[in-house]
Structure 1
Amino acid sequence: MTPIARRGALGRLALVALLAPTGCMAGVPAGPVPAAATDADGPIPSGYGTLRQDDITIELVDGPVRVRITPLESSLIRLTAPDTEQRLRALRERAAPDGAVWFLVSVQTEAPGGADFDPMAVEAASVGIPQRPAEIRGLTPQWGSGRLEQRVPQQALYRFPGDIDPWRSLEVRVGEMRSRSWTDRLPQLDAERARVRARAGGGYWSSPNFLILR
């Protein structure tokens, strides 16, 4: 084989290696990218968010009990970093394969000897009067016992009746405590949503057989 022919063959092999399905590039989610969740402004791609779970979580303190509430709304989850998105999406799909909006509720106490906690004390609403949960699915063995042990977190999935839309507003109550802090987060969430679309639109796209660099 002549030197020129050899260089041509090596170039073709390099191109095949670049397009091989086993290849992976930094910044691209490994494997098939799930279909994009949508909101009022169109699809939100998966795998491009940077937010932490804390950034989409409301925290309240009711006496000795700390309660953390995370909306498991699909387009909201896609704003979080890939590992967090994967974990929260798994919880959402476990609770809501039909697309209903659920919430992850985590409770804990630092009080010596523990503290009482009524699972029905958690209420939520987007517009109007906060409502009690329509369905609760415990994730930890002691959930629903009415008692928390010191520094032992308990978790459950909550579904509330009515039309709750975290992109509009979200108010939560636990006992006598009330939080409307979610409204202050909406500008940050809107900004991250725009950045996610920009990253996806100017970066990589996935096909069933290979990755294409735009």
Structure 2
Amino acid sequence: MMKRLGMWRWSAWMPLSAMLLACAGGSPVPVGAQIPPSLPAISGDTLDPNWIPAGFGTLRQDDIALKTSPSAGLQVRAIPLEERFIRLLSPDSYRALRELVAGNERKLQAIRERNRLPNYSIWYVSFFALEQGETRFSPQEFIITNTGRDFRPLDMVPLTPGFGEYRLRQREVQSALLVFDGQLDINQPVTAQMESVQSITDWSQVLQRVERERALVRSRAGAVKR
């Protein structure tokens, strides 16, 4: 029974993905298609073993998400917007997340200028309420533990109206881009906690999934070139 309940709870995120695609605009891009030139170019070292071409991934957003449930009524999902990860997503999800960052680039640049760190780790974080009535949340309490450190958000860019009220009605979603110190390395073990409750995601399984998909993406891209 509990297993079924857990499956039902996380399935509630599906409308959020659709909402993100609608905000980004455009129709789904078929696997193997080129990402539209309207997206800002991102340079990469093609000798980097983690670097892959865009447009060949098949993963879902949930496949690379870090999830936690600090209470029975609140669920949190965080997706790292690292290019080498999001290129493994299906083309429509990849495009939506890229456009999400591009559309908020001016606000993100202001955060970079305020903090003056060499680099940053940006996460797309959503808070979802299950219970009736009002559920409160504090994004500053969403802490990521990695490389022996606890990383707290340096700043955030709200994405949904009313995010700054830090409260949810039943089945409401509030989302933001949370910005962390770039020393956070998502290629290493990662856990999250909120209100002292640890994440329910096994990040080692996420990394295994990512490695498998990287190999498949290279294979698909190679087949197209031939």
TM-score by length of 1: 0.75
Paired AA for residue 65 in structure 1? L
| Corresponding residue for residue 11 of structure 2 | none
Tell me the CA shift for residue 125 of structure 1: 3.1
- Structure 2 unaligned blocks of 5 or more: 1-29, 113-118
Tell me the CA shift for residue 149 of structure 1: 1.3
**Of 91, 94, 114, which aligns to 2:134?**
114
Paired AA for residue 33 in structure 2? V
- Per-residue CA deviation, residues 51-105 of structure 1 (Å, 9 max, x unaligned), is 0011011221111111001111011000000000001111233345787320011
The answer to whether the 8 A contact 1:62-1:177 is kept is yes
| Corresponding residue for residue 212 of structure 2 | 191
Closer/same/farther in 2, CA of residues 202 and 161 from structure 1, 3 Å limit: same
- Structure 1 unaligned blocks of 5 or more: 1-24, 205-213
Tell me the CA shift for residue 109 of structure 1: 0.7
| Corresponding residue for residue 91 of structure 1 | 100
> Which of 1 and 2 has greater Rg?
1
**Of 85, 90, 109, which aligns to 1:76?**
85
- 2:223 aligned with 1:202: yes
Once the two structures are overlaid, the 10-residue window that deviates more, 26-35 or 182-191, is 26-35
| Corresponding residue for residue 211 of structure 1 | none
**Whole-angstrom CA distance in 1 between matches of 2:155 and 2:86:** 21
The count of residues paired between Structure 1 and Structure 2 equals: 181
**Whole-angstrom CA distance in 1 between matches of 2:123 and 2:83:** 11
**Whole-angstrom CA distance in 1 between matches of 2:137 and 2:169:** 10
Paired AA for residue 201 in structure 1? G
| Corresponding residue for residue 115 of structure 2 | none
Query: CA RMSD for the aligned pairs?
Result: 2.5
The answer to whether the 8 A contact 1:119-1:144 is kept is no
| Corresponding residue for residue 16 of structure 1 | none
SS for the counterpart of 1:202 is helix
| Corresponding residue for residue 3 of structure 2 | none
**Whole-angstrom CA distance in 1 between matches of 2:168 and 2:175:** 11
The answer to whether the 8 A contact 1:36-1:44 is kept is no
Paired AA for residue 167 in structure 1? N
1:171-186 equivalences in 2 (<5 Å): 171-179=191-199, 181-186=202-207
Paired AA for residue 28 in structure 1? A
**Of 97, 100, 125, which aligns to 1:105?**
125
Tell me the CA shift for residue 199 of structure 1: 1.1
The answer to whether the 8 A contact 1:130-1:171 is kept is no
Tell me the CA shift for residue 40 of structure 1: 4.2
| Corresponding residue for residue 20 of structure 1 | none
- 2:147 aligned with 1:127: yes
Paired AA for residue 183 in structure 1? S
- Per-residue CA deviation, residues 99-137 of structure 1 (Å, 9 max, x unaligned), is 732001100111111211112110113211222110111
TM-score by length of 2: 0.72
**Whole-angstrom CA distance in 2 between matches of 1:67 and 1:156:** 11
Paired AA for residue 29 in structure 1? Q
